[in-house]
Amino acid sequence: MSEKLRIALVNKEKADTYLSNLETLKEDNHIEEVQYNVLKTEYAKLRNDAVLRINAAKLEIKRILDAKLKELAAAKTEYKYLEIRHKVGQIPVEVYSKQEINPKKRIADLEKTVGDLQRLYNARTSSEVSAETGARLFGFSLGKKKAEEPPDLVIELPPPPPEKKPEPEKLEPVAEQIPVVEVPPPAPLPPQIVLPPPPPPTISVQQIEKPTPPKSEEEKLAEQAAAEKGRRGLPEGLVLANLQILPDRVVSGNHVGIVVSLRNVGKQPVNHRMDLKINGVTKDAAIISLEAGKNDEITFLVTAETPGDYTIDLDGREGKFVVIP
């Protein structure tokens, strides 16, 4: 599971690098518009696929983490009862010193496992996912060959149309000499009827409005940030670019992942607390710190409970999911 998470994070980082370099080429006028649009679509799809794999891996890690937290709580309760029985005199010292060894070791092992799982769940980059952690948690050998990473994306562009060669000039055949035939003169034409001149054409002039030049991506994001500032509780410059609910139809008792894509389009760093509300009730919160021009993704995990329709609210941006029995 940790290896799947690491590969997905690597692919997301690659896609982010490709998209960043592509924007640089466009700003320097080193790429045509058609090529830019094709490559941006491909790299965005690669990034979205990686994000979906990251969220799926983290949902599975969260499920394992919840189970280990329950085991840890049960182990601590069991050890607490053993300690109390010793303190009240039910268990002698020599017996207690032997019986506490295994519970203590089990608690220490579970605490180590829980810490490793929490680090995996909170990982944002591939460098935060180590092979040692995966071997300790999931049991694969460090000498084992790593899973093959998918190759870099190769874009096959359509071949240019074949060059059309000019057709050779057609020469008119030389007509054969035709004998001269005397033709009688034509009959005189009837007198020509002179018609009055037509009225001058009416010319209408229509004023053509000068087209408004298209807005840049930065101007669009700035306008979106200004609009969201009045509509939501977002600080100036912070834009909620995308909201995903994975899955939006879930069986009761399972987890729902809520992924929020944020961007700071302002010129100053932004610090903000984002509250996750479900049906008007605050269920979770996240602290966001973003430098100017930077992007970030926040993932919330909630447990689906009573079957029904649910509405989430993140600073004014809403989404829905359905819980089924």
Residues 244-264 have a mean pLDDT of 87
Pairing mode, strands 249-251 and 270-278: unpaired
Pairing mode, strands 270-278 and 308-314: antiparallel
Helix (H, G, I), strand (E, B) or coil at 251: strand
Distance from C-alpha of 276 to C-alpha of 286, rounded to nearest angstrom: 8
* Predicted confidence (pLDDT) per residue in 111-122, tens digit: 999 999 999 999
Q: Is the model's pLDDT at 282 over the cut of 70? A: yes
Residues 163-181 have a mean pLDDT of 43
Give residue 226's pLDDT. 60
Per mean pLDDT, which range of 43-47, 92-96, 281-285 is the poorest?
Answer: 281-285
Give residue 241's pLDDT. 80
pTM above 0.95, yes or no: no
* Comparison of pLDDT for 28 and 220, the residue scoring more: 28
* Comparison of pLDDT for 215 and 150, the residue scoring more: 215
Pairing mode, strands 317-324 and 249-251: parallel
What are residue 259's phi and psi, to 5 degrees? -110, 125
* Predicted confidence (pLDDT) per residue in 142-160, tens digit: 334 444 444 444 333 344 4
Distance from C-alpha of 134 to C-alpha of 120, rounded to nearest angstrom: 9
Confidence of residue 2 (pLDDT cuts 50, 70, 90): confident
Pairing mode, strands 281-290 and 317-324: unpaired
Task: Let me know: does 32 contact 60? Beta carbons within 8 Å.
Answer: no
Confidence of residue 140 (pLDDT cuts 50, 70, 90): very low
Confidence of residue 212 (pLDDT cuts 50, 70, 90): low
Residues 85-105 have a mean pLDDT of 95
Task: Let me know: does 51 contact 258? Beta carbons within 8 Å.
Answer: no
Residues 244-249 have a mean pLDDT of 88
Longest distance between any two alpha carbons in the chain, whole Å: 149
* Comparison of pLDDT for 42 and 259, the residue scoring more: 42
Q: Measuring CA to CA, which residue among 53, 35, 36 is closest to residue 259?
A: 53
Mean pLDDT over each residue of the chain, to the nearest integer: 79
Distance from C-alpha of 24 to C-alpha of 294, rounded to nearest angstrom: 15
Most confident of 94-108, 138-152, 239-253: 94-108
Distance from C-alpha of 220 to C-alpha of 218, rounded to nearest angstrom: 5
Residues 236-246 have a mean pLDDT of 85
